[in-house]
Amino acid sequence: MAQSKLSEWLPWPRLQPGDRVRLVSPASFPDDIEGIDYLVRLLNGWGMVVDVGEHAMDRRGYMAGADEDRLADLNAAYNDPGVRAIVTTRGGAGAYRILDGLDYTAIRADPKPLVGFSDITNLHLAIWQRCHVPGIHGCLVGDQAISTARHLLTSTEPAVLQRNPRLMSSAAEIEGRARGFLMGGSLAALAGLVGAGLPDLTGAILLIEAERTIGLGQVDRQLTQLLRSGALAGIRGVALGRFPGFEDYTDRGWNLIDVLRDRLTLLGVPVLGGLELGHGDNPCSVALGVSAEIDTGTGTLKLDPPARPV
């Protein structure tokens, strides 16, 4: 299945009041039950019926229980025709461990949105590779995050995100305009799937975001791994989100912008920076796997809707 054929992606029916939403924890667990209660109240306020995966609050090290239990919760949600959307309680770590066991047949047979980012990027990439079902890179915490996610879930109208010139990544911009399907998310997840199930990115607008955990060398290594693998050879553009923690960080004279420019210039494609996507407080939510256009002249990322009329 060629990833660049945008006509092949499978939209899901938009959410309507009365639809059921399942909360699951395929990676790490929420900090406390109040986080679950908050999501239930929020979605109830939209008129949704909410239930919670059996193992959503389990704990095993830094993960929400055993691999088989996290996988069972996710597959149960995809196999339940009454569940119309799946919302992850958080990212963290562990989603990459359950990719091989996902019920891709069920996902293709009954497309439904999966909401999450950070480590959940692994699930978005795997589902796109095997099923071409769009996902939502985002969360339901913060006014901006909630309003953009609600639009994607309940509307069949396009979405537009505007560059924030105050964000650090806006300084790594390379002029131009490009159209393709938006795919990506966490830089660590993208690099981690090289040789282990990274989808074909031919024709993609690649979304990249990250938070500072180790240093500039890690960003350099992850971008270089993607470049050397050939995974980025066919992309049409890059959309840069947030990189919190790097704002005042330098390493022997270089900062994040130096690394991004040094690596991304090699691609010869437009780069739009300054997008409110990824880690940090109150990010925007964005659809992955849909037709998208970046334009540095207008500073916009425009996206087709991931949902279809009911």
Closest CA to 120 of 69, 182, 184, 76: 184
Distance CA 23, CA 284 (A): 20
Q: Distance of CA 32 to CAs 23, 88, 274, Å? A: 14, 14, 32
Q: Which of 28, 169, 173, 209 is catalytic?
A: 209
DSSP bridge partners of 205 = 182, 237
Q: Is 157 a catalytic residue?
A: no
Contact 140, 39 (CB under 8 A): yes
Q: Is 155 a catalytic residue?
A: no
If you search the block for the tokens 């739009």, which residue do you land on? 272
Q: Where are the beta strands (DSSP E) in 127-273?
A: 135-137, 159-162, 177-186, 204-209, 237-240, 271-272
Q: Which amino acid is at 73?
A: D
Q: Is 55 a catalytic residue?
A: no
Closest CA to 124 of 57, 198, 51, 188: 198
**CA-derived radius of gyration, the chain:** 18
Q: Which of 25, 28, 55, 118 is catalytic?
A: 118
For 193-216, give the DSSP string: TTTTTPPP-TTEEEEEE---SS-H
Q: Which amino acid is at 253?
A: G
Q: Which of 279, 285, 291, 293 is catalytic?
A: 279
Handedness of CA 185, 191, 196, 199 (dihedral sign): positive
> Helix 216-229 crosses helix 256-264 at what angle (to 10 degrees)?
10
Distance CA 34, CA 129 (A): 34
Query: What residues act catalytically?
Result: 118, 209, 279
